[in-house]
Amino acid sequence: MKWITRPFQKVSVFERLQQLLTEAGARFRVVEHPHEGNSERVAAVRGTEVGQGAKAMLCKLKHADFNVMTIVPGDRRVDFKKVAQHYGHSKASLLSPEEATAQTGCVIGAIPPFSFDPSLRLVVDPELFRRYKEIAFNAGRLDRSIVLNADDYLRIAKPELVEIIVENGT
């Protein structure tokens, strides 16, 4: 796959995502909005439901040589024990904001549900796709979102689908 290259200039995650989705023929739209830290308000600006938000949480597993990007609907919570058990570990915990930024190139809240790092595994709870035909996420920036066809996301990102939501919890 070709990436945008510019001499002496790093390509942003936002540009990389747009290029990836365009080249793959994905059905998506970009939504510009004010920097918003509240899920309900950003969903309203996007014209989506809170649950359509693909919420990314980065985890580390004790004694593993990789980290895990978990994706759940924006109105649900990650069950870290389920994440750890899926990989045969006893415990998973969140990466610090600094570690997450170093691994993804994005600040917390702007991390899209795509891994461009081979040491970062991508796991998505299938509830997101049972509930919605489109998913929404901040696209490497706090002031830009992408609303993407769910089937196109699955085809392009190729995540592991694992039940990782806290049961009966939002």
Reply yes or no on whether the pLDDT at 81 is more than 80.
yes
Residues in contact with 127: Cβ distance below 8 Å, sequence separation at least 6, in sequence order: 72, 73, 76, 163, 165
Q: Is the dihedral of CA 166, 159, 43, 127 positive or negative?
A: negative
For 14-166, list the strands marked E by DSSP: 28-32, 54-61, 67-73, 92-94, 120-124, 134-141, 144-149, 160-161
Average pLDDT, the chain: 91
Reply yes or no on whether the pLDDT at 6 is more than 70.
no
- Per-residue pLDDT tens over the stretch 113-129: 999 999 999 999 999 99
User: Which token pair is 69?
Assistant: 């990007």
The whole-number pLDDT of residue 169 equals: 58
The whole-number pLDDT of residue 170 equals: 55
The whole-number pLDDT of residue 3 equals: 44
Reply yes or no on whether the pLDDT at 7 is more than 60.
no
How is the chain split into domains, by residue range?
Answer: 13-161
Percent of the chain having pLDDT more than 90? Answer: 82
Tell me the pTM. Answer: 0.90
Closest CA to 69 of 170, 166, 169, 158: 158
Q: How confident is the model at residue 40 (pLDDT cuts 50, 70, 90)?
A: confident
Which CATH code is given to the segment(s) 13-161?
A: 3.90.960.10
- Per-residue pLDDT tens over the stretch 140-167: 999 999 999 999 999 999 999 999 999 8
Instruction: Give the max Cα distance, the chain.
Output: 50
**Which residue(s) pair with 149 in the sheet?**
134
